[in-house]
Amino acid sequence: MLRLLEEKGYVESVYETRGEGPGRASVLFQPTQKAKETFKKLAGDEILSLEESKERIVSKIAAGEFEDAKLAEDILLQMDAGLDDVLYCTNLISDLVTRIRLLGRHRMMDYYASVILALIEKKNASGLNLLPGFMLGLASGESNAVELTDNVLKKIRNYEILLDHMDKEARDSLGNMLSKVIAPLKIE
């Protein structure tokens, strides 16, 4: 989906290198000016909660108020396919990975990447349930442990609830997405 959005000019890829030592650069995506303008047009000027903004945007896309009908269809199909839960869970892990990178713990992530990928490859609820807590532990530093833990624990609890309700197909999808998030962290 991100590659499609990039083709359409809504996001651009940026390569982030680790700075020192071997390893691949990470590909990150950031919104373009076109995306920001489209978001403002669809969400409106007033500040809303994330959920209200999302509902407004989805309803406008469904009503045909988005200029790219094919992209709108792809977005709505993604949402209709029940990927919201999968995306929420993937975003939580991605956020923790970003925090780990910001702490400069690349070697630690490389060391644990194989363990994490093994948990993900099982694609069962017990392995995937362990993942956010494990990642939270890696992402916590002395300076941010209390704040991070308080903010993330609620999200982790929601992750667990969503995971408990996922069928095998959704867990497979989650496992595939998480593998793509974690695999680049492993130095080969």
**Whether residue 181 is found in the same domain as residue 101:** yes
Q: Which of 13, 47, 80 is the last residue of a domain?
A: 80
* Domain total in the chain: 2
- Give the residue, 77 or 83, on which the prediction is more confident: 77
Best-predicted range by mean pLDDT (21-35, 38-52, 73-87, 162-176): 162-176
Choose one of 26, 55, 80: the last residue of a domain: 80
CA trace torsion 32, 38, 42, 45 (10° rounding): 80
Residue 81 has pLDDT above 50, yes or no: no
Within this chain, do residues 71 and 103 fall inside the same structural domain, yes or no? Answer: no
Give the domain range for residue 128: 83-185
Whether 168 and 81 have beta carbons less than 8 Å apart is answered as no
CA dist 97 → 34, 39, 70, 93, 113 (Å): 27, 26, 32, 6, 11
Distances (CA, A) of 127 to 104, 121, 163: 26, 9, 11
Same domain for 131 and 76?
Answer: no
- Considering the domain architecture, whether residues 121 and 133 belong to the same structural domain is answered as yes
pTM of the prediction?
0.53
Whether 39 and 57 have beta carbons less than 8 Å apart is answered as: yes
Instruction: Examine the domain organization and report whether 173 and 94 are in the same domain.
Output: yes
Higher pLDDT, 31 or 114: 31
Residues 103 and 55 in one domain: no
Task: Give the pLDDT band of residue 19 (cuts 50, 70, 90).
Answer: low
Where is the domain boundary, 31, 57, 80?
Answer: 80
- 142-166: pLDDT as tens digits: 665 666 677 678 788 888 888 888 8
pLDDT in tens, 46-79: 777 777 777 777 777 766 777 876 777 666 555 5
Indicate if 103 and 166 belong to the same structural domain. Answer: yes
The CA distance from 71 to 10, in Å, is 11
